Structure 1
């Protein structure tokens, strides 16, 4: 159950990354075709898209680590104290690494 959710989220993040690739491309500095304000707007949008891509990359790494823990039979256990993470917590985010006690 958790593996399929993680794999689905990975696929979704990769699809989002692929679809936003063009918006992260360098902004053209040709002032003849784009006005100064339009270019500034484009650069701001590019900056926001790059930040989104960074967050996606971080989440992909977290999800990949969760899959690795599954393969090594370490999934569902707190990385700090070793106790089992309650299923209700994993239902919210199957990639969590800490139990409720260790998070706080």
Structure 2
């Protein structure tokens, strides 16, 4: 059975990470906005650079949103008293694994067998 102290230890880390993810998403909203076509002030190459920057910001936001979902799910598992158990086999997840990634959902055996 996972240590309840582990849930207590991971709760502030997960809450802090969630706040940081939200802050980063808000801070980079302008970078993800569509690039305006203004031939007067932005040349073709500059616009291509701006579009590339936009694409990178959008890709980062996709990863950030996926991580946000994982962190929110971990916080729900803590609330429900289900934190620290593998979603596949139901066995406890090693404390070291949870300390590396507090939002992990699978024990090492299930993660390796399904290559998540």
- CA shift for structure 1 position 25: 1.0
Match status 1:91 vs 2:99: yes
Partner of 1:61: 69
What is the aligned length? 104
Match status 1:71 vs 2:82: no
Q: Distance in 2 between matches of 1:22 and 1:83?
A: 43
Partner of 2:60: 52
Q: CA RMSD in A?
A: 0.6
Mark the runs of 5 or more structure 1 residues left unpaired by the alignment.
none
Q: Distance in 2 between matches of 1:82 and 1:25?
A: 42
Structure 1 runs, 4 residues or longer, greater than 4 Å off: none
More RCO (CA 8 Å, sep 6+): 2
What is the TM-score normalised by the length of structure 1? Answer: 0.97
